[in-house]
Amino acid sequence: MPKKAESLSPTVVEAAPKRIEVRLSGSGGQGIILAATLLADASAQSGRQVVQTQSYGPEARGGASKAEVVISESEVDYPEVATPDVTLCLSQAAFDKYASEAPAGSLLYYDSGLVTPSAVTAAALIGGPFAQLAMQKLGKSVVTNIIALAALSSDAGLIDAASLRDALKRRVPARFLELNLKAFELGWGCDLSRQSG
């Protein structure tokens, strides 16, 4: 397992891109939309332009659902995510649906306990035991999304910890904040396993 400093993927950070496309996917109830909202809010507060898009419908209730965030230094003209720089898959159905759309050079994060990365992808595969950490360390699977968001945000260099923590404080109801902040600390810089896509 790489240490934290080594685990920072240079892909997104070094390119200093004008536009970063992030796709978060999972099953209904896994808190994908909240994770996207937190990332969008934190990015906006740090001075960037952000557009967030989420889908609802029969599909979102049953199988794989997604929420997307486009982060840009300038106004976002085109809100659609066509070639995600960062993808998260929290369920097998989400992986099977979206892995093939993650391009070469992009980062694909998945829950290593919930997903067997069987589908074809050109992206770098990065696994983390997000759901397992949530259950074993906090006894609450409901914060799997926060652990995963913190893990990928730190690893991909999407946002600084303070901005994301502040977004949690603004967005999470007071009685759940302590749990969510603990989940955030568990995920930020956590060990991840890597393989080429």
Positions that interact with a copy of itself (CB under 8 A) = 40-41, 43-44, 47-61, 75-76, 78-80, 173
- Tell me the residue type at 166: D
Q: Which is nearer to a copy of itself, 10 or 57 (CB)?
A: 57
Spatial CA neighbour of 191 closest among 8, 1, 5, 10: 1
Tokens 């829950």 belong to which residue? 111
DSSP annotation of 22 reads E
**Beta carbon of residue 179, minimum distance to a copy of itself (angstroms, whole number):** 17
Phi and psi angles of residue 85, each rounded to the nearest 5 degrees, phi first: -80, -30
In angstroms, rounded to a whole number, what is the distance separating the alpha carbons of residues 3 and 190? 9
Q: Which is nearer to a copy of itself, 31 or 197 (CB)?
A: 31
**Beta carbon of residue 178, minimum distance to a copy of itself (angstroms, whole number):** 18
Q: Which is nearer to a copy of itself, 40 or 150 (CB)?
A: 40
**Beta carbon of residue 34, minimum distance to a copy of itself (angstroms, whole number):** 12
In angstroms, rounded to a whole number, what is the distance separating the alpha carbons of residues 73 and 188? 24
Q: Which is nearer to a copy of itself, 74 or 118 (CB)?
A: 74
Tokens 């652990």 belong to which residue? 147
**Beta carbon of residue 60, minimum distance to a copy of itself (angstroms, whole number):** 7
